[in-house]
Amino acid sequence: MRSDSSLRRFLHGLPGVDQVGCEARAAGLGTRSIKTTSKAYAIDLAIRMVDLTTLEGADTHGKVRALASKAMRPDPADPSCPATAAVCVYPDMVGTAKQTLGDSGVHVAAVATAFPSGRASMDIKLADTRDAVEAGADEIDMVIDRGAFLSGRYLDVYEEIVQVKEACARADGSSAHLKVIFETGELQTYDNVRRVSWLAMMAGGHFIKTSTGKVQPAATLPVTLIMLEAVRDFREQTGQMVGVKPAGGIKTTKDAIKYLVMVNEIAGPDWLDPDWFRFGASTLLNDLLMQRTKMTTGRYSGPDYFTLD
């Protein structure tokens, strides 16, 4: 049985993050030049890793259907273009997305637990999660209670993740994958990012995710680097592999490739797989498609040739 104090002892016993070193390492990895066949590989891999996201108050069933169609066939003009990993929607849109995606292999991810603030009672958060799972969500993106974490109530955060994970169970015994969103833009320090990563992994999260996309700064390279180190070290100690998902603010192919370089260098090539690394993004996909078209046709493409959402 864990307690607040044992968690605090462990989390505060983790080595502190060297801020300058971490930022320099992330910037250094961002200067790698990835060209020709490596670039083509990276672009296709990045497309396969995209969680195509729409999380707007103005979302409609029609928009979700359009997004799901795009996820299955991102470039209708080129059948060799791979599908994205998933579409990410609010729980009430899960049914619509599932219906459109059918058995295409593209997953439906739903944000739950009073996304994006996470400010609701536990019962409501669990009901939100069960509702999304029952509607057919393959993956649940939960937000942690940042207030509890920042005020040092680590056990509350831990218990919350454990309970939401239980709520991800389906009637047939299987269970939806759980991604834990930290909202690193609100966590103030890199040390906190490292601590929350370990906390979420110990609580059983399948994926750790940087941000909701609703708070600035969203995903950054240094934060993702710390999380990649955490999943690498966690596997060394426990043998369990946990995925990483940076979300928000990744808009260009260049950015995406920087992340992929970092995944390979920090966590290792095992994570270069849509099962273990994802991009939470909406505009990124079009830039990837434009770059892909540039590589296959040899001429620059334009935004006119790709759908907006």
> Residues with catalytic annotation?
141, 209, 245
User: Smaller CB distance to other proteins: residue 105 or 303?
Assistant: 303
Q: Least CB distance from residue 247 to other proteins, whole Å? A: 24
Distance (Å, whole) CA 69 – CA 102? 11
Does 301 participate in binding other proteins (rule CB under 8 A)? yes
Q: Distances in Å between the alpha carbon of 173 and those of 113, 142, 167, 285, 300?
A: 22, 20, 12, 34, 49
Does 298 participate in binding other proteins (rule CB under 8 A)? yes
Q: Least CB distance from residue 252 to other proteins, whole Å? A: 11
Q: How far apart are the first and last CA of the chain?
A: 47
Beta bridge partners of 244: 208, 277
Q: Least CB distance from residue 202 to other proteins, whole Å? A: 45
Span near other proteins by CB under 8 A; candidates 6-14, 59-67, 262-270, 300-308: 300-308
Q: Which residues of 174-207 are buried (b: 16+ CB within 10 A; e: fewer)?
A: eebbbbbbbbbbebeebbbbbbbbbbbbbbbbbb
Span near other proteins by CB under 8 A; candidates 49-57, 207-215, 263-271, 298-306: 298-306
User: Smaller CB distance to other proteins: residue 21 or 303?
Assistant: 303
Distance (Å, whole) CA 2 – CA 49? 35
Does 304 participate in binding other proteins (rule CB under 8 A)? yes
| Contact in structure between 255 and 43 (CB atoms under 8 Å) | no
Binding track, positions 243-282, relative to other proteins; x by CB under 8 A:
----------------------------------------
Does 303 participate in binding other proteins (rule CB under 8 A)? yes
Does 302 participate in binding other proteins (rule CB under 8 A)? yes
| Contact in structure between 210 and 10 (CB atoms under 8 Å) | no
Does 77 participate in binding other proteins (rule CB under 8 A)? no
Q: Least CB distance from residue 15 to other proteins, whole Å? A: 39
Distance (Å, whole) CA 49 – CA 65? 20
Q: Least CB distance from residue 294 to other proteins, whole Å? A: 9
Q: List residues binding other proteins (CB under 8 A).
A: 298-305
